[in-house]
Amino acid sequence: MTCVFSVTHAQAVPQAQTDSVRVLNDIKWLADDRNEGRAAGSEGEQNTAAFISSAFKKLGLQPKGDKGTFQQKFSFNKGVHGEGKPAESNNIIAFLDNKAVNTIIVGAHYDHLGNDGQGSSLDANPENKIHNGADDNASGVAGVLELARHYSTNKTRENNNFLFICFSGEELGLLGSKYFTEHPAVELEKVNYMINMDMVGRLDRSTRNVFVTGTGTSPVWQPLLQHLSSPELIIKMDSSGTGPSDHTSFYLKDIPVLHFFTGSHSDYHKPSDDWEKINASGEAKVLDLIIRLNSVLDSEPKLAFLKTRTKSSAGRASFKVTLGIMPSYAGNENGLKVDGVSDGRPGQKAGIQSGDIIIEMGTLKISDIEDYMKALGQFDKGQTIPVKVRRSNEVVTLSVTF
């Protein structure tokens, strides 16, 4: 593998200075109760769409939605498995025209789980509870707005255009980003790469890890990210082009992608994912990293695309038992990392916590999600088994009753 960017140039890149107060204010607005959890097809979502559109307009960006507006409409069926009433949602799309040949897409989903959890809440009784989704994904939207501000006010004409997109319907299965890639506002052949931010608001103050997925989708990513990693912000890489967020839709169109993620936490997909828990200065560091990355690549030719291994989908198999955890798709942990724990389910009752790494179930060793899926097939309802997890530096044995 050859390194196509020049390290001397990378070192010369000035530190960007993202305003964390502005980032936090945007998150507060987006994750306010009045938006009722921004469920796709809801009033709260329309309210949010209007907010994003007016922010783009104020920056003087070009509308790239339907008929001269910022909004690109798509239809879907409401309900947990798309079995409900027909509904409509909008992607919000804005273009910064630098008169360049190629375009960088910067995106994040703005929808979340509404006031009932849409069937994917990890709360035991999600009905009538507003899921504000401050980290998931008001943080990403605030990131898009901040980068849009940066690039439209920095008085530099980059060698790439920028397309800023806030997607809807992500929580229902990447609906907005799929629709966009089928109805793109710019030629997909001219898209240099796509940056996705989904959950960038909870940078851990002690580990300072940012997880970047998609690093196998172009030869440039790994050496460049290695170079940009610092003790302030330690980059953990995962090569896969697919994962449970919108960059997947672009990878499937042969576009190099990166997904930025500050890691999961116990508020993931729960009504408690609120703005008070956001680490805004941590998010500012992630945004500065993205600005530096774009700046290094700005003098380089359009990136080459590489296909990567694809991760198996955990959603399809059916089992007699479940643990009630959200497995992680990121990282090679030599075990299965737990990203979230459902209240009142066997895993939570046994004491499994977010961040645990499952290494053994019964007598079966667990080294990845495939092993975990296989193991689940072996147990019956009512059965009690020992489950070993790695937590910080120790191994804890828990007793799980299915």
Q: Which two tokens stand for residue 22?
A: 């502005």
Taking CB under 5 A as the criterion, which residues in 62-101 touch Zn ion?
Answer: none
Task: Tell me the DSSP string of 14-82.
Answer: PPP---HHHHHHHHHHHTSGGGTT--TTSHHHHHHHHHHHHHHHHTTPEE-SGGGSSEEEEEEE-STTS
Q: Which is nearer to Zn ion, 138 or 387 (CB)?
A: 138
Tell me how far, at minimum, the Cβ of 158 lies from Zn ion, in Å. 28
Q: Which two tokens stand for residue 15?
A: 């530190």
Residue 339 found at the interface with Zn ion (CB under 5 A) = no
Residue 241 contacts residue 308 (beta carbons within 8 Å) = yes
Tell me how far, at minimum, the Cβ of 282 lies from Zn ion, in Å. 17
Counting residues that bind Zn ion (by CB under 5 A) gives 3
Tell me how far, at minimum, the Cβ of 111 lies from Zn ion, in Å. 9
Q: How far apart, in whole angstroms, are the C-alpha atoms of residue 204 and residue 211?
A: 11
Q: Which residue, among 371, 204, 374, 195, has the nearest Cα to 289 in the 3D structure?
A: 195
Residue 198 found at the interface with Zn ion (CB under 5 A) = yes
- Tell me the window of 116-124, 158-166, 194-202, 302-310 that interacts with Zn ion (CB under 5 A): 194-202
Q: Which is nearer to Zn ion, 136 or 283 (CB)?
A: 136
- Tell me the window of 118-126, 133-141, 157-165, 207-215 that interacts with Zn ion (CB under 5 A): 133-141
Tell me how far, at minimum, the Cβ of 339 lies from Zn ion, in Å. 11
Q: Which residues, in sequence order, are CB contacts of 316 under 8 Å at separation 6+?
A: none
Tell me how far, at minimum, the Cβ of 394 lies from Zn ion, in Å. 31
CA-derived radius of gyration, the chain: 21
Tell me how far, at minimum, the Cβ of 131 lies from Zn ion, in Å. 11
Spacing of C-alpha 176 from chain mean position: 14
Q: Which is nearer to Zn ion, 137 or 248 (CB)?
A: 137
Give φ, ψ of 337 to 5 degrees: -80, 140
Q: Which is nearer to Zn ion, 137 or 264 (CB)?
A: 137
Residue 360 found at the interface with Zn ion (CB under 5 A) = no
Residue 328 found at the interface with Zn ion (CB under 5 A) = no
Binding residue (CB under 5 A) for Zn ion from 137, 139, 192, 218:
137
Residue 211 contacts residue 333 (beta carbons within 8 Å) = no
Q: How far apart, in whole angstroms, are the C-alpha atoms of residue 372 and residue 361?
A: 8
- Tell me the window of 19-27, 129-137, 297-305, 364-372 that interacts with Zn ion (CB under 5 A): 129-137
Q: How far apart, in whole angstroms, are the C-alpha atoms of residue 336 and residue 155?
A: 46
Residue 136 found at the interface with Zn ion (CB under 5 A) = yes
- Tell me the window of 1-9, 134-142, 316-324, 342-350 that interacts with Zn ion (CB under 5 A): 134-142
Tell me how far, at minimum, the Cβ of 337 lies from Zn ion, in Å. 17
Q: Provide the binding-site residues for Zn ion, judged by CB under 5 A.
A: 136-137, 198
